Amino acid sequence: MSTQTRLEIVRAIETIGVVAVVRLEEARSGLDVANALAAGGVTVVEVTMTVPNAVTLIEQLTAALPANVIVGAGTVVDAKTAGTVIAAGARFVVGPVFRPEVIAECHRHGVPAMPGCFSPTEILNAWDAGADVVKVFPATTLGPGYFKDLRGPLPHLRLMPTGGVTRENAGAWIRAGAVAIGVGTALVDPKAVAERRFDAITENARQFIQAVNDARAPQAVRA
Protein backbone atom coordinates (compact mmCIF):
# COMPACT_ATOMS: atom_id res chain seq x y z
CA MET A 1 0.00 0.00 0.00
CA SER A 2 1.32 3.42 -0.93
CA THR A 3 2.28 5.77 1.88
CA GLN A 4 1.78 8.85 -0.30
CA THR A 5 -0.78 11.38 0.82
CA ARG A 6 -3.69 12.42 -1.39
CA LEU A 7 -1.96 15.67 -2.26
CA GLU A 8 1.31 13.91 -3.09
CA ILE A 9 -0.50 11.57 -5.48
CA VAL A 10 -2.31 14.48 -7.13
CA ARG A 11 0.95 16.41 -7.48
CA ALA A 12 2.63 13.38 -9.06
CA ILE A 13 -0.22 13.02 -11.55
CA GLU A 14 0.01 16.72 -12.38
CA THR A 15 3.78 16.46 -12.89
CA ILE A 16 3.43 13.57 -15.33
CA GLY A 17 0.50 15.27 -17.02
CA VAL A 18 -0.96 12.25 -18.82
CA VAL A 19 -3.41 9.70 -17.41
CA ALA A 20 -3.68 6.57 -19.56
CA VAL A 21 -7.30 5.40 -19.64
CA VAL A 22 -6.97 1.64 -20.13
CA ARG A 23 -10.02 -0.11 -21.57
CA LEU A 24 -9.25 -3.65 -22.68
CA GLU A 25 -11.40 -6.46 -24.03
CA GLU A 26 -9.55 -8.87 -21.76
CA ALA A 27 -7.19 -8.37 -18.85
CA ARG A 28 -4.30 -10.60 -19.86
CA SER A 29 -2.59 -7.80 -21.82
CA GLY A 30 -2.87 -5.35 -18.93
CA LEU A 31 0.63 -5.76 -17.55
CA ASP A 32 2.21 -5.54 -21.01
CA VAL A 33 0.22 -2.38 -21.73
CA ALA A 34 1.19 -0.79 -18.41
CA ASN A 35 4.87 -1.61 -18.95
CA ALA A 36 4.72 -0.16 -22.46
CA LEU A 37 3.12 3.04 -21.18
CA ALA A 38 5.71 3.39 -18.41
CA ALA A 39 8.55 2.85 -20.90
CA GLY A 40 7.23 5.87 -22.79
CA GLY A 41 6.96 8.01 -19.67
CA VAL A 42 3.24 7.64 -18.93
CA THR A 43 3.35 6.27 -15.40
CA VAL A 44 -0.27 6.99 -14.45
CA VAL A 45 -2.52 4.09 -15.42
CA GLU A 46 -6.30 4.15 -14.97
CA VAL A 47 -7.84 0.69 -15.24
CA THR A 48 -11.52 1.09 -16.03
CA MET A 49 -14.17 -1.10 -14.46
CA THR A 50 -15.26 -2.09 -17.97
CA VAL A 51 -12.18 -4.32 -18.24
CA PRO A 52 -13.07 -7.93 -17.37
CA ASN A 53 -11.65 -8.82 -13.94
CA ALA A 54 -10.58 -5.20 -13.48
CA VAL A 55 -10.11 -5.50 -9.72
CA THR A 56 -7.80 -8.49 -10.13
CA LEU A 57 -5.87 -6.60 -12.79
CA ILE A 58 -5.41 -3.64 -10.42
CA GLU A 59 -4.05 -6.03 -7.79
CA GLN A 60 -1.69 -7.55 -10.35
CA LEU A 61 -0.40 -4.22 -11.60
CA THR A 62 0.06 -2.84 -8.10
CA ALA A 63 2.16 -5.88 -7.16
CA ALA A 64 4.17 -6.12 -10.36
CA LEU A 65 4.94 -2.53 -11.37
CA PRO A 66 7.57 -0.22 -9.88
CA ALA A 67 6.40 2.13 -7.15
CA ASN A 68 6.67 5.15 -9.47
CA VAL A 69 3.82 3.78 -11.61
CA ILE A 70 0.57 5.10 -10.16
CA VAL A 71 -2.25 2.64 -10.73
CA GLY A 72 -5.82 3.85 -10.34
CA ALA A 73 -9.36 2.80 -11.16
CA GLY A 74 -11.79 4.36 -13.60
CA THR A 75 -15.51 4.19 -14.40
CA VAL A 76 -16.27 3.99 -10.68
CA VAL A 77 -19.88 5.04 -10.03
CA ASP A 78 -20.59 3.93 -6.45
CA ALA A 79 -18.95 3.98 -3.04
CA LYS A 80 -18.85 0.18 -2.71
CA THR A 81 -16.80 -0.17 -5.89
CA ALA A 82 -14.54 2.67 -4.76
CA GLY A 83 -13.80 0.81 -1.54
CA THR A 84 -13.16 -2.42 -3.44
CA VAL A 85 -10.67 -0.93 -5.89
CA ILE A 86 -8.86 0.96 -3.15
CA ALA A 87 -8.50 -2.30 -1.21
CA ALA A 88 -7.05 -3.82 -4.39
CA GLY A 89 -4.39 -1.10 -4.50
CA ALA A 90 -5.87 1.72 -6.58
CA ARG A 91 -4.14 5.00 -5.68
CA PHE A 92 -6.72 7.25 -7.33
CA VAL A 93 -10.33 6.80 -8.37
CA VAL A 94 -11.97 8.30 -11.46
CA GLY A 95 -15.67 8.37 -12.29
CA PRO A 96 -17.63 9.26 -15.42
CA VAL A 97 -20.12 11.16 -13.23
CA PHE A 98 -20.21 13.15 -9.98
CA ARG A 99 -21.23 11.05 -6.97
CA PRO A 100 -20.55 12.74 -3.59
CA GLU A 101 -20.52 9.36 -1.84
CA VAL A 102 -17.65 8.18 -4.02
CA ILE A 103 -15.58 11.23 -3.08
CA ALA A 104 -16.34 10.61 0.60
CA GLU A 105 -15.29 6.96 0.37
CA CYS A 106 -12.06 7.83 -1.41
CA HIS A 107 -11.16 10.45 1.16
CA ARG A 108 -11.95 8.04 3.98
CA HIS A 109 -9.06 5.96 2.64
CA GLY A 110 -6.80 8.92 1.81
CA VAL A 111 -7.16 8.43 -1.96
CA PRO A 112 -7.77 11.20 -4.55
CA ALA A 113 -11.18 11.30 -6.22
CA MET A 114 -11.64 12.53 -9.79
CA PRO A 115 -15.35 12.70 -10.67
CA GLY A 116 -16.58 13.32 -14.19
CA CYS A 117 -18.51 16.55 -14.77
CA PHE A 118 -19.63 18.63 -17.72
CA SER A 119 -21.38 21.90 -16.83
CA PRO A 120 -19.80 24.76 -14.84
CA THR A 121 -22.31 24.26 -12.00
CA GLU A 122 -21.62 20.54 -11.82
CA ILE A 123 -17.87 21.12 -11.91
CA LEU A 124 -17.99 23.64 -9.06
CA ASN A 125 -20.32 21.43 -7.01
CA ALA A 126 -17.89 18.53 -7.36
CA TRP A 127 -14.97 20.75 -6.39
CA ASP A 128 -16.84 22.03 -3.35
CA ALA A 129 -17.62 18.42 -2.41
CA GLY A 130 -13.88 17.74 -2.25
CA ALA A 131 -12.91 16.53 -5.72
CA ASP A 132 -9.13 16.47 -5.98
CA VAL A 133 -9.26 16.88 -9.76
CA VAL A 134 -12.42 17.34 -11.83
CA LYS A 135 -12.50 15.20 -14.94
CA VAL A 136 -14.31 17.19 -17.61
CA PHE A 137 -16.18 14.52 -19.57
CA PRO A 138 -17.00 14.05 -22.31
CA ALA A 139 -14.57 16.64 -23.58
CA THR A 140 -15.14 15.44 -27.15
CA THR A 141 -17.88 18.02 -27.70
CA LEU A 142 -15.98 20.80 -25.96
CA GLY A 143 -12.60 22.34 -26.65
CA PRO A 144 -9.67 23.95 -24.86
CA GLY A 145 -11.50 27.29 -25.01
CA TYR A 146 -14.00 25.86 -22.52
CA PHE A 147 -11.21 25.53 -19.94
CA LYS A 148 -10.07 29.10 -20.58
CA ASP A 149 -13.60 30.34 -20.05
CA LEU A 150 -14.05 28.32 -16.84
CA ARG A 151 -10.74 29.30 -15.33
CA GLY A 152 -11.42 33.00 -15.83
CA PRO A 153 -13.86 33.20 -12.91
CA LEU A 154 -12.70 29.91 -11.30
CA PRO A 155 -8.89 29.86 -11.54
CA HIS A 156 -8.48 27.55 -8.52
CA LEU A 157 -10.01 24.50 -10.23
CA ARG A 158 -7.92 21.47 -11.16
CA LEU A 159 -9.36 20.27 -14.47
CA MET A 160 -8.55 17.24 -16.62
CA PRO A 161 -10.22 16.67 -20.01
CA THR A 162 -11.09 13.12 -21.01
CA GLY A 163 -12.68 12.06 -24.27
CA GLY A 164 -11.47 13.34 -27.60
CA VAL A 165 -7.95 14.17 -26.42
CA THR A 166 -5.40 13.52 -29.17
CA ARG A 167 -1.71 14.13 -29.76
CA GLU A 168 -2.69 17.05 -31.96
CA ASN A 169 -4.76 18.88 -29.32
CA ALA A 170 -3.00 17.68 -26.13
CA GLY A 171 -0.85 20.79 -25.90
CA ALA A 172 -3.80 23.10 -26.40
CA TRP A 173 -5.60 21.58 -23.41
CA ILE A 174 -2.52 22.07 -21.22
CA ARG A 175 -2.06 25.67 -22.35
CA ALA A 176 -5.75 26.28 -21.59
CA GLY A 177 -5.16 25.30 -17.96
CA ALA A 178 -5.59 21.52 -17.71
CA VAL A 179 -3.45 20.05 -14.93
CA ALA A 180 -3.33 16.76 -16.85
CA ILE A 181 -5.04 15.05 -19.78
CA GLY A 182 -6.91 11.75 -19.74
CA VAL A 183 -6.24 9.77 -22.91
CA GLY A 184 -7.87 6.52 -24.03
CA THR A 185 -7.68 4.94 -27.47
CA ALA A 186 -5.40 7.63 -28.91
CA LEU A 187 -2.80 6.33 -26.46
CA VAL A 188 -3.76 2.70 -25.82
CA ASP A 189 -4.56 1.79 -29.42
CA PRO A 190 -6.87 -1.27 -29.39
CA LYS A 191 -5.44 -2.54 -32.68
CA ALA A 192 -1.89 -2.33 -31.36
CA VAL A 193 -2.95 -4.22 -28.23
CA ALA A 194 -4.69 -6.93 -30.28
CA GLU A 195 -1.58 -7.32 -32.43
CA ARG A 196 0.65 -7.16 -29.34
CA ARG A 197 2.60 -4.24 -30.81
CA PHE A 198 3.36 -2.74 -27.44
CA ASP A 199 6.22 -0.73 -28.91
CA ALA A 200 3.56 1.36 -30.69
CA ILE A 201 1.96 2.16 -27.33
CA THR A 202 5.36 3.16 -25.94
CA GLU A 203 5.84 5.52 -28.87
CA ASN A 204 2.36 6.97 -28.38
CA ALA A 205 3.21 7.57 -24.73
CA ARG A 206 6.44 9.36 -25.63
CA GLN A 207 4.60 11.64 -28.04
CA PHE A 208 1.91 12.58 -25.51
CA ILE A 209 4.51 13.29 -22.83
CA GLN A 210 6.44 15.42 -25.30
CA ALA A 211 3.29 17.35 -26.25
CA VAL A 212 2.56 18.10 -22.59
CA ASN A 213 6.15 19.12 -21.85
CA ASP A 214 6.29 21.36 -24.93
CA ALA A 215 3.03 23.05 -23.90
CA ARG A 216 4.41 23.69 -20.42
CA ALA A 217 7.63 25.26 -21.68
CA PRO A 218 7.92 28.99 -20.82
CA GLN A 219 7.82 30.07 -24.46
CA ALA A 220 4.61 28.08 -25.00
CA VAL A 221 2.98 29.79 -22.02
CA ARG A 222 3.92 33.23 -23.32
CA ALA A 223 2.61 32.35 -26.75
Residues classed as catalytic = 46, 135
3-state secondary structure of 120: helix
Residues 6 or more apart in contact with residue 182 via CB below 8 angstroms = 19, 21, 46, 94, 135, 137, 160, 161, 162, 163, 165
Residues 6 or more apart in contact with residue 210 via CB below 8 angstroms = none
Dihedrals φ, ψ of 75, to 5°? 60, 40
DSSP code, position 16: H
Nearest to 210, CA basis, from 24, 19, 40, 62: 40
Residues 6 or more apart in contact with residue 107 via CB below 8 angstroms = 6, 113, 130
CA distance 176 to 104: 29
